[in-house]
Amino acid sequence: MQVTSSVREPLVTGGKTYKDVTSDVSRQVEGKPTVGWLLGMAVSLGALLLGSIALVATLWEGIGMWGLNKTVGWAWDITNFVWWVGIGHAGTLISAVLLLFRQKWRTSINRAAEAMTIFAVICAAMFPVIHMGRPWLGAYWALPLPNTFGSLWVNFNSPLLWDVFAISTYFSVSLVFWYIGLIPDFATIRDRATGIRKTIYGALSFGWDGAAKTWMRYEAVSLILAGLATPLVLSVHTIVSFDFATSVIPGWHTTIFPPYFVAGAIFSGFAMVLTLMIITRKVFKLEDYITIVHIELMNIVIIITGSIVGIAYITEFFIAWYSGVEAEQYAFVNRMFGPYWWAYWSMMTCNVISPQLFWFKKIRTSIVATFILSIVVNIGMWFERFVIIVTSLHRDFLPSSWVMFYPTLSDVGVYLFTFGLFFTCFLLFAKFFPVINMAEVKSVLKSSSEKVKR
Amino acid sequence: MKENNKTYWNGFEQLTNDPEFVKKAEREFPEELPTNGASEGGSSRRDFLKVMGFSLAAASLAACEAPVRKAIPYVNKPVDINPSVPNYYASTFASGGDYASIVVKTREGRPIKIEGNKLSAITQGGVSAVVEASVLSLYDKQRLTGPMVDGQQSDWPTVDSEVVFRLRNAGNVRVVTNTLISPSTESALQEFAGSFGAEVVTYDPVSNYGIIKAGGALPSYRFDKADVIVSFGADFLGTWISPIEFAKQYSKGRKISKENPNMSRHFHFESNMSLTGANADYRTPIKASQNGLAVLALYNLLARRGGAAAVNAAAVEIPHLEKAAEELWANRGRSIVVAGSNDPNVQVVINAINDLLGNSGETVDFSKPAYFRKGNDEQMNQFVTDLNAGRVGGVVFFNCNPVYDHARGAEIAEGIEKAGVSISTNETLNETASLVQIVAPDHHYLESWNDFNPKAGEYSLSQPTITPLFNTRQAQESFLAWSGNNTSYYDYLQTSWSNGLFSGQNEIGNFQEFWDRALYNGVFTSENAGSASVSGTGNVSGAASEIGRTYSADNANVELVIYQKVGIGNGYHSNNPWLQEMPDPITKVTWDNYLTVSQNWAAENNFKMSEGNTKMGRITVGNKTYTLPVVVQPGQAVGTVGLAVGYGRTKAGRVADGIGINAYELVDLSRGYNNFEITEGVTLELVNDNYKLPQTQTANTYMGRQFVVQEATLGEYREDASAGRYKPQVYAEGEFVKPSKISLWKGHKYSQHHWGLAIDMNSCIGCGACTVACQVENNVAVVGKQEVLNRREMAWIRIDRYYSSEAGADSYQDLERAAANPEVVFQPMMCQHCNNAPCETVCPVVATTHSSEGLNQMTYNRCIGTRYCANNCPYKVRRFNWFKYHDNKDFAAVNVAQNSDLGKMVLNPDVTVRSRGVMEKCTMCVQRIQAGKLSAKRENRKIEDGEINVACAVACPTDALVFGDMNDPNSKVSQVLKIEESIEAVKEVNEERAYHVLEEINVSPNVWYFTKIRNKDKNEA
């Protein structure tokens, strides 16, 4: 069935056998935590703890702990929200869209990418809740729940409500998709484990029996879920972009936002996957599974999406000029040359110029360069959201209300908290869950590994 | 039972008094309580659980602090006090000579709001920010709760005996007071003076002695009768003498319509940019040292035209002066020339100019003198000298604070000890009262009876609107008591009215009826005022030679011009957080004192101010040096620096203490009058210390955005009534149409009312009375300096102040920069109550909705605080509760109206105090609308136009805001907007000047603005 191309590089190197795959991946789950892991965990928990001071202060004292003001009602909170949601796009794209497109190289990275998605979405979802003035009420008033308040209902016209649906749908589908994929691997670990671990992984694997029929159902469910998840990849960030696109604020009121946001999300998501995978493959010695080919392919996606984003930036400018709307024109000139010029040019450098370096094969196949650029891209994408949100708001229609926004320690702290949360979750995942989808990797060994063929 | 002496027994046991029975009968419940268990001493498991359950419940109950709510019902309802129904009492605000006839709104016996009294011939229903805010000072924690003797709490009998005893042997007694415009107070004071041989010394912190000395009296000014107004530094709309009255008059000449396209032309010559200067058609910055010469030059220009003898004067080059002279001459008898200078010589020339122009008796009326200022600078100066020389045996400070607000305050502070007896009647332990032996605190004016005579023939009354909160006593009553007259001041007042005004009229025969009428109206006008025989003329050539000596055309020194701020004034009310947080109309700075410097000076020092970031300046006057932040003020005359009085309080209270410096110390007394223009010995240097000023607006210009401000000149307006209008058009289906013609919205229909507001930017002078009125009416929190620095002030209505850019500016950078001497425009901005409101669509929980009467409503209870609405508001009028501002010790020092039981008495019970985390904004005083609708409904009639009015419009001294029902074709708002009758949300407005801010985004506001029209020959900055 499998067609082997002589031009294609093997997806898994090092002549791995099925047993090698199992033992290479399970080794991390079964062994003692490594020093690197413990160190990482300590740093993450530290960030979590430090950040929680800021979070508690915000919840206790009020949103006034942040740098927001009468004109700039959103800044770091929604910047972080959109940034994390964007990062959360890669997982589903890799596992669902690439599955539909039969891209086999996805198999060694999809597990970690999906995990990243879920943790990123958790971090993202935190912001819409904590940015509320009264989160203790807003957390459930924003849901269309039957209630005893009378005929009170949510406002279906509000893009914020659309966000609630978009994010929660995306999160649940991603979670289910991820977990379904984990079941066969949990079963593998269960089969190798003893004692209490056997029981736990046994429970987690839902009694997987490895029968042909089970495998068939597994494949079918994966495909259905991939089908369901694919439109979500496009819809989530489209809807997030509606928060801005449907408003009247110059710099927000832009029809280009949905495709531009989706491209940006994939762009940042892939960058984050790269950042994480480069570390993981090193620490867990998985270089044979996540090869330079994977990295190169992902870098290519980054060039494409980065270029789309770049074109979107330029188009925005053109349209602002072409529209003849004074406030709109000013908003864009202000981005470039106003008081937040540095944010704009950071965004331009990181998002548009730096990914173009990947046109050079030498750079896109260099681990160090990729690692650095993947971080640069995510810095750039953070600035993109900051530029859109803050520099549009801070100088809108009436000059009398023009202000500057300066972040406070609490702004930084809450952001740090999400980093702590994200990495704590990711490290726990890396230790206790198989970071590579063993079952699926095994399915591609045949077409790529010399040894297994013999 | 007792009567028929029968006793029924329960049984034989009772009859026989069986011991067993008696024992049981004593214990009502014969069964053992189960907790005791079967056996004595031990306790079972059940008991343990019971006891534990009980203690747990008790402990948790005790942990929930049950709030003690003190609600004391009226056993006997007082007449006229109905819960939730406000009562209104006419009264009078007077502080020094600052005067306003007012109506006090009380709820359940508490004064909560002050509005103007429309029956007053002087203030005509107008108020100022200070008057609006004064209700809060009633509930000021700093007020003394009782009299004090030698630093100890005391009681009134002790005070009275001590005062009489000490003063009897004191020797020379002086009573120091600010201007008194109350005839009965003056006579009470005379009684006191008579019995102790005391002399009354009157001074004003910001004195107008120059006018009185030059003309013998303060004339009545009539700006409404003037077609040409020339002012040399008189800030008559903001702080000069009687600004409410003058603003009202001035606005009459500034209102224009197609039928009457005429307006007064206003020339202004000044050093600092004042509120009045900002409203002028032609404003010329001049150095203070040229002031006198400029006035002389004008005199000579007019004298030449009138054939009178010119006087000797150094030549001085002043733009627009020639033009002013020409137009004054063309409008003889219909013009007015005023000067703010306190120099009597300048005022002599001013009087001569008005004589030359035939304005005397017309616009400047010495025959109807005003009494707003009576202070005598020389007398006060002499008093300080006497005090320090030990020639004063006893001194009484009658509601004045000279230690703080006199140039020789420090000497007075030292001298008080030299006087054998010192007494003060101040309400608080301020800088002066804290140094005296006996403090006999006066009532707040809202607790007092009094009468006032602000102008010849014009009288008004003030009446108590609340029982005195503290153990204070009206100062007049104290004076009467000390002079041995034991009548209450109320009786004293009635007697003096009965003997004086009542007998002088023959309209009403019964005194009680006369008194009740006057009290009800708050004002009384006496027909036979008897015209004063003051001519106002003086020796012009003598004055001219004096001016030639003291002024110079080319002073190279830095000049300091000391001025009053509109909100803080002379500093007497500076402990009022509403006034501290009110942005200065010009600089938009709150909570701070600063030096205003010219753009030129800033450029010379390579210094730019942006986003409130500035540097400190060090000013040295003689041997005094102060370091203050610097504000680069467009329009500030080159070579001058402005500094406001009213700051540098040390004992005002925790709101005002420690802000800025006391500029009174710099006032120059060497010329025999209080000179606020220091032209010699001033140096100013930039200090390299960064400072951030709490400004509510940091952008100076409107960036040439016609969709925000639309303006034209009078000439253009006469040619085309829609001159200056910006009419955006949208291309749709082959043609250009008004934006309102295209909409995704179905559009509202308002079958009942459709509330709207029309704002005339020509009338708005930017005084800020509306902003404080709104704050009082709507319980708007004060957030303090730090939160203003964080750009989080809560004001529901703000006045946007824009300077013009330099002519020909077209790059964004140039547009951002204000011109060196800019035109100024004021634009009141509040929720526009859009029919297609962008805030309403984005709220995820429908907390902000549209009413059936066109209002955009905010439901605080439902708000979860996403702030999306505020972001999406194109006018940025929504305000978020970043913190809990009420009952929070972090804000107790500034938000006094929401943090203590005393302060909370001022809150409007009809308006919710917002909690942390919710959005708020202008409601168009929905509580007033509802109250008005309710009373109309109860009386089964339609609402009359004008019956319901919003707080900002009521406060406005220039009637710039017109509120009403746009569905009613006869309402004033419909009339001024020329609305075609319809119940559609989008009304056809035919008034050419009316426009919507941001018309092109078609949010369809219910607030309309009228183009600003300047009376200029051509468009020039």
Q: Does residue B39 carry a pLDDT above 70?
A: no
Q: Calculate mean pLDDT across residues B820-848.
A: 94
Residue A21 is predicted with a pLDDT of 83
Phi, psi (rounded to 5 degrees) for B417: -65, -30
Residue A453 is predicted with a pLDDT of 46
Q: What angle do CA B149, B151, B152 make, to 5 degrees?
A: 70
Paired residues of B682 in beta bridges? B621
Residue of B745, B761, B846, B860 to mutate, testing the A interface (most A Cβ within 10 Å of its Cβ): B846
Any idea what DSSP says for residue B32? P
Who among B790, B874, B918 is closest to A248 (CB)? Answer: B874
CB A207 within 8 A of CB A219: no
State the architecture of A18-145+152-453 in CATH terms: Up-down Bundle (1.20)
Who among B697, B843, B872 is closest to A248 (CB)? Answer: B872
Across all residues in chain B, what is the average pLDDT?
A: 90
Other Cβ atoms closer than 10 A to B467: 7
* Beta carbons within 8 Å of B364's beta carbon, 6+ residues apart: B219, B220, B221, B222, B336, B338, B351, B354, B536
Who among A134, A160, A333 is closest to B812 (CB)? Answer: A333
B586 vs A146, more confident: B586
- CB < 8 Å to A159, chain B: 842
Given CA atoms B505, B509, B515, B518 in this order, what sign does their dihedral have? negative
Who among B705, B841, B884 is closest to A158 (CB)? Answer: B841
Of A286-290, B303-307, B527-531, where does mean pLDDT reach its minimum? B527-531
Residue A1 is predicted with a pLDDT of 35
- Tens of pLDDT, residues A148-194: 777 788 999 999 999 999 999 999 999 999 999 999 999 999 999 88
Cα–Cα distance for residue pair B511/B500, rounded to 1 Å: 11
CB spacing of A399 vs B842 below 8 angstroms? no
Q: Which residue has the tokens 């004195």?
A: B207
Q: Calculate mean pLDDT across residues A340-352.
A: 94
Which one, of B221, B480, B510, B516, lies nearest residue B373 by Cα?
B221
Which one, of B350, B319, B357, B304, lies nearest residue B335 by Cα?
B357
Which one, of B211, B435, B452, lies nearest residue B344 by Cα?
B211
Q: Calculate mean pLDDT across residues B867-876.
A: 95
* Beta carbons within 8 Å of B862's beta carbon, 6+ residues apart: A141, A152, B845, B846, B847
Residue B133 is predicted with a pLDDT of 95
- CB < 8 Å to B581, chain A: none
CB A245 within 8 A of CB A257: yes
CB spacing of A142 vs B846 below 8 angstroms? no
- Tens of pLDDT, residues B589-621: 999 999 999 999 999 999 989 888 999 999 999
Strand ranges inside B463-587, DSSP E = 523-525, 559-563
CB B1017 within 8 A of CB B266: no
* pLDDT band at residue A293 using 50, 70 and 90 as cut-offs: confident
Distance of CA A35 to the CA centre of its chain: 27
CA atoms within 13 A on the CB side of B629: 22
Cα–Cα distance for residue pair A157/A141, rounded to 1 Å: 15
* pLDDT band at residue B53 using 50, 70 and 90 as cut-offs: confident
A56 vs B14, more confident: A56
Residue B40 is predicted with a pLDDT of 53
Classify burial at B941, counting beta carbons within 10 Å of its beta carbon; exposed 0-12, middle 13-18, buried 19 or more.
exposed
Phi, psi (rounded to 5 degrees) for B271: -95, -55
Q: Does residue B550 carry a pLDDT above 80?
A: yes
Residue B949 is predicted with a pLDDT of 95
Q: Which two tokens stand for residue B169?
A: 């042997």
- CB < 8 Å to A160, chain B: 842-844, 866, 868
Q: Does residue A296 carry a pLDDT above 70?
A: yes
Q: Calculate mean pLDDT across residues B213-234.
A: 92
CB B412 within 8 A of CB B403: yes
Which one, of B403, B388, B393, lies nearest residue B199 by Cα?
B393
Phi, psi (rounded to 5 degrees) for B217: -165, 170
Residue B1 is predicted with a pLDDT of 47
Q: Does residue B306 carry a pLDDT above 80?
A: yes
Q: Calculate mean pLDDT across residues B892-912.
A: 93
Q: Does residue A2 carry a pLDDT above 50?
A: no
Q: Calculate mean pLDDT across residues B30-47.
A: 60
Of B59-73, B118-132, B840-854, B995-1009, where does mean pLDDT reach its minimum? B59-73
Which one, of B499, B502, B475, B503, lies nearest residue B489 by Cα?
B475
Give the total residue count for chain A. Answer: 454
CB B562 within 8 A of CB B667: yes
Residue A3 is predicted with a pLDDT of 47
Segments in B471-537 forming alpha helices (H): 475-482, 489-497, 511-521
Cα–Cα distance for residue pair B189/B185, rounded to 1 Å: 6
Cα–Cα distance for residue pair A392/A237, rounded to 1 Å: 19
CB B71 within 8 A of CB B87: no
Q: Which two tokens stand for residue B749?
A: 């229909």
CB spacing of A155 vs B702 below 8 angstroms? no
Any idea what DSSP says for residue A350? I
Cα–Cα distance for residue pair A122/A126, rounded to 1 Å: 6
Q: Which two tokens stand for residue A354?
A: 């730096």
Q: Model pTM?
A: 0.90
* Beta carbons within 8 Å of B301's beta carbon, 6+ residues apart: B321, B322, B325
Tell me the one-letter amino acid at B301.
L
Q: How far is CA A453 from CA A1, A439, A445, in A?
A: 13, 17, 9
- Tens of pLDDT, residues B944-973: 999 999 999 999 999 999 999 999 999 999
Q: Calculate mean pLDDT across residues B712-732.
A: 91
Any idea what DSSP says for residue B484? T
Structural domains of chain B, with CATH: 12-63 (no CATH), 214-370 (3.40.228.10), 556-692 (2.40.40.20), 711-1014 (3.30.70.20)
* pLDDT band at residue B61 using 50, 70 and 90 as cut-offs: low
CB B1005 within 8 A of CB B986: no
Residue A8 is predicted with a pLDDT of 64
CB spacing of A248 vs B838 below 8 angstroms? yes
Cα–Cα distance for residue pair B86/B101, rounded to 1 Å: 19
Paired residues of B757 in beta bridges? B963, B1007
Cα–Cα distance for residue pair B479/B814, rounded to 1 Å: 63
Tell me the one-letter amino acid at A170.
Y
Q: Calculate mean pLDDT across residues B140-163.
A: 92
**SS3 assignment, position A406:** coil
Who among B829, B845, B881 is closest to A155 (CB)? Answer: B845
Q: Does residue B459 carry a pLDDT above 70?
A: yes
Tell me the one-letter amino acid at B636.
Q
Q: Does residue B97 carry a pLDDT above 90?
A: no
CB spacing of B864 vs A137 below 8 angstroms? yes
Which one, of B369, B347, B362, lies nearest residue B537 by Cα?
B347
Q: What angle do CA A293, A298, A301 make, to 5 degrees?
A: 135
Helix/strand/coil percent split, chain B, to 5? 30, 20, 50
CA distance B894 to chain A (A): 17
Other Cβ atoms closer than 10 A to B661: 18
* pLDDT band at residue A4 using 50, 70 and 90 as cut-offs: low
Q: Does residue B908 carry a pLDDT above 90?
A: yes
Cα–Cα distance for residue pair B64/A404, rounded to 1 Å: 44
CB spacing of B827 vs A403 below 8 angstroms? no
Q: How far is CA B15 from CA A330, B2, B5, B27, B30, in A?
A: 106, 18, 16, 18, 20
Q: Calculate mean pLDDT across residues B486-503.
A: 90
Reported as type and span, the H/E element at residue B175 is strand B173-177
CB B332 within 8 A of CB B668: no
A96 vs A309, more confident: A309
CB B766 within 8 A of CB B585: yes
Using DSSP bridges, classify how beta strands B265-270 and B798-803 pair: parallel, antiparallel or unpaired. Answer: unpaired
Across all residues in chain A, what is the average pLDDT?
A: 89
Cα–Cα distance for residue pair B693/A36, rounded to 1 Å: 50
CA distance A161 to chain B (A): 5
Q: Does residue B63 carry a pLDDT above 80?
A: no
Cα–Cα distance for residue pair B883/B916, rounded to 1 Å: 5
Cα–Cα distance for residue pair B248/B222, rounded to 1 Å: 10
Cα–Cα distance for residue pair A295/A374, rounded to 1 Å: 11
Residue A102 is predicted with a pLDDT of 78
Q: Does residue B354 carry a pLDDT above 70?
A: yes
Share of chain B above pLDDT 70, in %: 95
- CB < 8 Å to A243, chain B: 868
Buried-state track B710-737, b at ≥16 Cβ within 10 A, e below 16? bbbbbbbbeeebbbbbeebeeeeeeeee
Residue of B771, B840, B882 to mutate, testing the A interface (most A Cβ within 10 Å of its Cβ): B882
CA distance A46 to chain B (A): 28
Of A389-393, A428-432, B62-66, B638-642, where does mean pLDDT reach its minimum? B62-66
Cα–Cα distance for residue pair A252/B214, rounded to 1 Å: 63
Residue A92 is predicted with a pLDDT of 83
Residue of A61, A398, A409, A411 to mutate, testing the B interface (most B Cβ within 10 Å of its Cβ): A398
Q: What totals of helices (H) and strands (E) does chain A contain, helices first?
A: 20, 0
Q: Which residue has the tokens 């149409």?
A: B737
Cα–Cα distance for residue pair A397/B834, rounded to 1 Å: 16
Measure CA of the first residue to CA of the last residue in chain A; give whole Å: 16
> What is the edge-to-edge ordering of all strands in the sheet holding B682-692?
B677-678, B559-563, B640-644, B595-597, B624-632, B613-621, B682-692
Which residue is closest to A406 within chain B, CA to CA? B790
Any idea what DSSP says for residue A311? H
Residue A454 is predicted with a pLDDT of 42
Residue A438 is predicted with a pLDDT of 87
